[in-house]
Amino acid sequence: MTWMITGGAGYIGSHVVRALVADGQQVVVVDDLSTGDPERLPAGVPLVRGTVLDRALLDRTLSEHDVQGIVHIAAKKQVAESVERPLWYYRENVEGLRTVLEAAVEARVQRFVLSSSAAVYGMPDVDLVTEQTPCEPMSPYGETKLAGEWLVTAVGRAHGMATASLRYFNVAGAAAPELGDPGIFNLVPMVFDRLSRGQTPLIFGDDYPTPDGTCIRDYIHVEDIASAHVAAARRLTEDSKAALVLNIGRGEGVSVAEMVGIIQEISGHTGIAPEVTARRPGDPARVVASADAIGRELGWKAVYDVREMVASAWAGWQLRHPE
């Protein structure tokens, strides 16, 4: 069978593509290349350039490649940007998903995996976030992901489609230097960027109710994210009635101060004391996943630790910024 991967030339998408290919799956990628790069794709993987809002393009791709499963990763994903441009985020993330699902139903695709996010939870006041933790997203981005989950589940129920929505926590790392995250939006590349410029790393608030006063997060290696998609694809192939919503995390919290220290050590930029600035609005003190459900349902467990994430991310950063 062939899996269509939307957004498959992007940072996370390209890792998922490579993992599925390594698992022996046939893959076709649909990507508008707004943030993707064709060079990330393995040799021989077909790339269809275009937007997921283009129904005719989707219909042709599903038919020509005999697609029987979809992994939908294509989406806009910057929280602050979503606050500034909510209409655009709802169009790209919700209407884009609706268009893909409509095409999938017409083509009788029976398996659908959605890229979701821990942003659906908002600011949960719990030690470990389970899939039953109430969802109260705090940004249009998180809202679009939660709405997307509802839509996927409803379509699966109505049309006999096996589905899985995978809620990513804080993604970092790279399978190879050339696959590193090109953006500077998450903590690890943000600290790399400041250190490489000779600037002080920033920590947004050190007065949270945590052991060292800084926020605690669950960091997950992008290769673990990719292997979770392979496990989900296998499950949906075997179980035509699956309707899963699962966290992807390690179940271990690391504070921002700890993470900055690890980044400095691995990058060789030690001796620079981070600068503490004001809290960012909406940052919860602690967001750590419970990974019990994905272990039960998919037999999956994260294998990479934080130091491996940072080391692989640093190798990618050095490749893109040799200066």
| 294, part of any domain | no
Express each pLDDT in 21-51 by its tens digit. Answer: 999 999 999 999 999 999 999 999 999 999 9
Q: In the predicted model, what is the mean pLDDT of residues 239-263?
A: 97
Stretch among 30-34, 145-149, 267-271 having the lowest mean pLDDT? 267-271
Asked if 122 and 140 sit in the same domain, the reply is: yes
Which amino acids are annotated catalytic? 141
The rounded distance, in Å, linking the Cα atoms of 77 and 70 is 19
Where residue 284 falls among pLDDT bands split at 50, 70, 90?
A: confident
In this predicted structure, what is the pLDDT of residue 312?
97
Highest mean pLDDT among 176-180, 223-227, 270-274: 223-227
pLDDT at 322 over 90: no
| 297, part of any domain | no
Domain holding 53, by residue range, is 2-171+219-248
**pTM to 2 decimal places:** 0.96
φ/ψ of 134, rounded to 5, equals -55, 140
pLDDT at 292 over 90: yes
pLDDT at 323 over 80: no
176-179 own/partner pairs: CB under 8 Å, 24+ apart? 176/316, 177/312, 177/315, 177/316, 177/318, 177/319, 178/39, 178/40, 178/316, 178/319, 179/11, 179/14, 179/15, 179/18, 179/40, 179/222, 179/316
Asked if 105 and 230 sit in the same domain, the reply is: yes
% the chain with pLDDT above 90: 91
Q: In the predicted model, what is the mean pLDDT of residues 244-269?
A: 96
Asked if 24 and 115 sit in the same domain, the reply is: yes
Position with higher pLDDT, 281 vs 205: 205
Q: CATH no. for residue 189?
A: 3.90.25.10
Where residue 271 falls among pLDDT bands split at 50, 70, 90?
A: confident
Q: What is the mean pLDDT of the chain?
A: 96
Asked if 28 and 163 sit in the same domain, the reply is: yes
Sole residue written with tokens 């292997």? 227
Express each pLDDT in 297-310 by its tens digit. Answer: 999 999 999 999 99
| 295, part of any domain | no
What's the number of domains the chain is made of? 2
The rounded distance, in Å, linking the Cα atoms of 83 and 280 is 14
Asked if 96 and 139 sit in the same domain, the reply is: yes
In this predicted structure, what is the pLDDT of residue 319?
87
Spatial CA neighbour of 249 closest among 173, 171, 145:
171
